[in-house]
Amino acid sequence: MSKRVLVTEELADRGLDHMRAAGLDVDIQLGLSPDELLVAIPGAAALIIRSATQVTADVLAAGTDLVVVGRAGIGLDNVDVAAATERGVMVVNAPQSNVISAAEQAVALLLAQARNIPQADRDLKAGKWNRSRWTGVELHGKTLGVVGLGRVGVLVAQRCLAFGMRLVAYDPYVSAERARQLGVELEPDLGALVESVDFLTIHLPKTPETIGLFDAKLLARAKPGLRIVNTARGGIIDEAALADALANGPLGGAAIDVFAVEPTTESPLFALENIVVTPHLGASTREAQDKAGQTIAEMVVLGLAGEFVPFAVNLAASEANATVAPFLPLVERLGRLFTGLAGGVVDTLEVSYEGQIADYDCKVLTLAALKGALGPVVDEPVSFVNAPAIAASRGLEVKESKLAATHDYVNLVELRGSYRGRSTHVAGTLYGKQGSLRIVGIDDHVIDVPPSAHMLVVRNSDVPGIIGKVGMILGDAEINIDDMVVGRTNSGQAALMALSTTTPVTDTVLDALRAEDGITEAKAIELG
């Protein structure tokens, strides 16, 4: 009896034919409601979706025969990957299927905005010959700011070089050498970039740190006449602030393909003449859909055959040694914490294993560290499979070391590296019979705090009253503290606090902390 593959959204014929040729029973049921999906999923060995179908823990529980979930595209926001991993269900995507289409959409919008093409088209079709009204500007000789040098950002940069543009990029997680190879200047300060460029294109992932990044305060710093293009994710630009900056200055124009809420048919942006809008068309090409369908079909066929699956997101986790596997969530969180503290890409990430764990193959843990370190800062899902390639593209070298003996712990995992001459260090271990996750070191300060979704790290002078100030500021902002520990150096100085909070610490609260005498730095880090 052939294995059944449930397809709940449109998939290119090439992909469907590939699965049928492999002997699979392709069951196409489009537009299922959540309740209907729960009825249809039992007995399916694979589920193929795009962006509309929500693969929740309940869906995974109902899919008792499920082996693979395939997302015909890049994003995995609609898949509960953690629940799938817990149930041993492989999750795969098609990470390279739409990058060219997305890059070309960004360039198309850049040109459309520069030359007022949609506005002129609309006027002429309405019987108006307005040559002078829609006079545009050339791209040649202008400065383009590229915010995010992931796959799509790099493709856009390469294409805009051909127009004779000067390229300046903001991406603290790309090395200077990598930027030089791309013909791009790096600008370490996003505000300074906004102040100096003529055009700006956004290619960032949507994370707690990037939501609302382009707010009224940042847009107010824009060079007069700046034109902004966003084909990345909705919500990165505050749409109300954007509308105000377009209507009243300093922005000269914008071209937007993505919105905070989709679908959307009403927005203050739509009434403005100096903006070009499209309904999230970045991946909407025949070629992208064809590649996504073919790629995901190939991954599903490989997964159901028990063969290696190149684009598996959670494959390596299920194959880890039983002794090593419990450390995976700890090490991935250490990677996220490391990136948040470093604030940029280190030349070398040193991962060391001490104690009993050093006797085992820890390569999967090193991949987990990379996955955690890169996940918050790149514009595609990072998996155990693609993490090394993404690290290499950003000039990040990874070194692994082992030491059989450790002084204070049965097992210890440490990450070290330096960015712009400043060293960053994090360490963690598992405690007790339950294997509780603990962060036990930050920048060589000894601490003991469980990793949580929302972390706050404060550096301060070793003077009385700092703990009270931090507690009062968080309390005034109605942010509860779940855990707090004061870290001490080997010499006994208390100059660092690590806190777990119930809700994210906002930029406003961070500014208030940094303004206090005795506090030298405050960073909010989301560990997920």
Quick check: 514 and 521 in contact, CB under 8 A? yes
Among residues 255, 308, 221, the alpha carbon closest in space to that of 105 is found at 255
Q: Beta 411-419 vs 422-431: how paired, if at all?
A: antiparallel
Q: Beta-carbon neighbour count of residue 358 at 10 Å?
A: 18
From first CA to last CA, the distance across the chain in angstroms is 41
Q: Would you call the peptide bond into 95 cis, given omega within 30 degrees of 0 as the criterion?
A: no
The DSSP annotation for 233-300 comes to: -TTSB-HHHHHHHHHHSS--EEEE---SSSS----GGGG-TTEEE-SS-TT-SHHHHHHHHHHHHHHH
Quick check: 502 and 454 in contact, CB under 8 A? yes
Helix (H, G, I), strand (E, B) or coil at 392: helix
The active-site residue, picked from 262, 319, 397, 521, is: 262
Question: Per the structure block, which two tokens stand in for 491?
Answer: 């010499």
Helix (H, G, I), strand (E, B) or coil at 483: strand
The DSSP annotation for 154-191 comes to: HHHHHHHHTTT-EEEEE-TTS-HHHHHHHT-EE-S-HH
> How many H-runs (helices) and E-runs (strands) does the chain carry?
18, 22
Which amino acid belongs to residue 269? L
CA-CA distance, 253 to 261, in Å (whole number)?
A: 21
Quick check: 524 and 453 in contact, CB under 8 A? no
CA-CA distance, 383 to 186, in Å (whole number)?
A: 27
The active-site residue, picked from 233, 333, 416, 445, is: 233
Q: Beta-carbon neighbour count of residue 320 at 10 Å?
A: 21
Q: Beta-carbon neighbour count of residue 26 at 10 Å?
A: 21
Helix (H, G, I), strand (E, B) or coil at 419: strand
Known active-site residue 425: no
Between vectors from CA 482 to CA 476 and to CA 487, what angle results, nearest 5°?
A: 95
Known active-site residue 280: yes
**Alpha helix locations (H) across 401-465?**
none
The active-site residue, picked from 71, 280, 336, 425, is: 280
The DSSP annotation for 76-125 comes to: -TTB-HHHHHHTT-EEEE-TTSSHHHHHHHHHHHHHHHHHTHHHHHHHHH
- Active-site residue set: 233, 262, 280
